[in-house]
Structure 1
């Protein structure tokens, strides 16, 4: 984590487990759950600019590029995953933040940080030995604006 570069908020638990190899990839052996104030997350989403141009938007490519360059928040959508890391036919939002937005994230919006590494390793082991149950997964709620 660095205040001087973009940091990413990745709300999908299973996407993060795919990315971290269930806390087994080098440099990703520790998993933290970060709880944010709703108002902070709302502000991040409101200010997000898609990280890649979409012709279906109301913006020209030049307008999009200018918005992207001037924004502190980027949004990208990656394939969401199942417990085995396979794509599941929906997209998971990822929000990149920098500048003043990162400062607000750290100083104003984070309400709790929980180290869930032991739970993640327990889930990884249960997947490997065939005893995994979906009730082990953290609850994820739909985000409604």
Structure 2
């Protein structure tokens, strides 16, 4: 039996601001934006190529906005992904390399596959990482 993770709820304080960030800054596709009532709104967005979506909204969870940390996206070319985020106006970290001695700034000579990361927060402070993976064991 396959078990697939398809939705992660991300707590936000301002649904419209978050929708704009995820759609315009990160380039996520808006799957739907449904207001069920004044107390319940569901916005589902999916990163290009992903089988897992994020849901933001009103009346969905009891988590504090900005309390979700460790969300992770995976790309095939971290340098290109970082450049795209910067071009879209996202405040993103420099590329970091994680190896036996811990995390350090990446160099042009580093093989980033499985070891390269950048980090950013959404407008509420929910923490994201982007990792380069071009091959899997």
TM tier, smaller? under 0.3
The structure with the largest alpha-carbon Rg is 1
Structure with bigger strand share is 2
Structure-1-length-normalised TM-score: 0.26
Structure-2-length-normalised TM-score: 0.27
